[in-house]
Chains A and B, each alone.
Chain A
């Protein structure tokens, strides 16, 4: 009577025959002091005296309040009240062990220094977060990989941080956000791509960030539900910018993955770009091929939050266009819109394609 067992029994998706790789886990520091050992006295003083200033005017905190505390699953706090994904032991128990993950990619979000208006603090925090990922996470669990957090508005400092990590297999990608002060294809960001190509790492672009601009082309929306839908449009702007500016012509080995941006929009911008390129090709003669060809060679997507159309064939059509080898499973643990790997990837997707989504594609993309 009244014996409470865990609701969902542990287990991994049966279709994960090529392994289970999650490309979107969000570790969080329990408090900023965890970064202190990895910062200079001067930058720690600046952080603790003047604080973090996102590129967002006088606004503090999230652009829009989240639908859940710390944007997290309500069961994600540890047994001693630890904040979501701040305690390795609890993350292992609730997530890594529970689902039998083989590899998990860490994508630290705020406070990470990304998008801060102060370039020096941005660079110092990003460096500290990288060291912290190793010291608190990756060095204690061989399943985890770190992302190189870079102060992307300062591309030269970003490139330096990337080169510091050259050859360190504990890092598997360079992490950018989807809201940046200019479209990411512009030349001011190219030192980041040059360094990433040099060290042989792909670029992960995660939804959110602080651009300094309103988050929609039409200004500030009224509702959080509009913000979460807007990720699709900022992702479209970034993919179009990468393609049209010629980043993939200049850095032919570079690959990017759009994380937590959805993917139903991918065919649409491919069609529109191709259509307009046929008419306006001479404006962008540095493009040697149709825009969609660059997309289908260089751009990857992650699943969470996966589109859930009423007709499964609509999802299959979008995935087919993107390419079954370019879709990566993501959980977004511990956030409230988390996707359970056993349920979120629907069974109407053929088993061998699910296997690629769960593990094979990520192993190729990240060279795991």
Chain B
């Protein structure tokens, strides 16, 4: 896996997302409260772009009539058929073992480390004093 610097951290605020390209793949990068996650930008159902989907939480129920809402903003819904995917894992809610969108490791690294590291060259300048989102593809 090659490491790709895809954005400066402050370009994707918490709750935000950015569509990027790395290794010829379209990848959508999400910021969940400072943690970054990267998913292939293609729904496994009919191929729509997940980057155009809304974020929602997880609505669960112990029994009919009792509902719990949690993990606000951590699920992305396909903009066509509303399938729910967990941004942290890429797994669908209704069939997590078999229906999932490919997830790529993502993390933050300091510019000072990146300017020396074995990373894919990107077309924007990396500043030593800034932090960057790195996706492994």
Q: When chains A and B are docked, how far (Å) is the Cα of A344 from the Cα of B47?
A: 10
5 contacts between A and B (CB under 8 A): A2-B20, A4-B19, A339-B46, A343-B45, A343-B46
Residues of A within 8 A of B (CB): 1-5, 7-8, 67-68, 73-75, 336-340, 343-344
Known: A73-B79, A74-B54. A7 touches B42 (CB 8 A): yes
User: 4 tightest CB-CB pairs across the interface, nearest first?
Assistant: A74-B79, A7-B49, A1-B123, A343-B46
Within 8 Å of chain A (Cβ to Cβ): is B21? yes
The contact of B48 among A2, A4, A5, A7, by CB within 8 Å, is: A7
B interface majority secondary structure: loop
Q: In the assembled complex, which residues on chain A have CB atoms less than 8 Å from the CB atom of B42?
A: 7
Question: Contact between A75 and B81 (Cβ–Cβ < 8 Å)?
Answer: no
Question: Contact between A336 and B80 (Cβ–Cβ < 8 Å)?
Answer: yes
Q: When chains A and B are docked, how far (Å) is the Cα of A69 from the Cα of B36?
A: 29
Question: Contact between B52 and A75 (Cβ–Cβ < 8 Å)?
Answer: yes
Q: When chains A and B are docked, how far (Å) is the Cα of A340 from the Cα of B45?
A: 10
Give the residue name and chain of the B residue nearest to A222 (CB).
B64
Q: In the assembled complex, which residues on chain A have CB atoms less than 8 Å from the CB atom of B18?
A: 2
Q: When chains A and B are docked, how far (Å) is the Cα of A113 from the Cα of B122?
A: 57
Q: When chains A and B are docked, how far (Å) is the Cα of A68 from the Cα of B48?
A: 15
Known: A7-B42, A8-B47, A74-B53. A2 touches B81 (CB 8 A): no
Extra contacts, 4 of them, besides A3-B21, A336-B81 (Cβ < 8 A), are A7-B51, A75-B48, A340-B48, A343-B46
Within 8 Å of chain A (Cβ to Cβ): is B75? no
Query: Closest approach, in angstroms, between the C-beta of B74 and any C-beta of chain A?
Result: 19
Question: Contact between A336 and B82 (Cβ–Cβ < 8 Å)?
Answer: yes
Question: Contact between B41 and A7 (Cβ–Cβ < 8 Å)?
Answer: yes
Give the residue name and chain of the A residue nearest to B123 (CB).
A1
Query: Closest approach, in angstroms, between the C-beta of A98 and any C-beta of chain B?
Result: 12
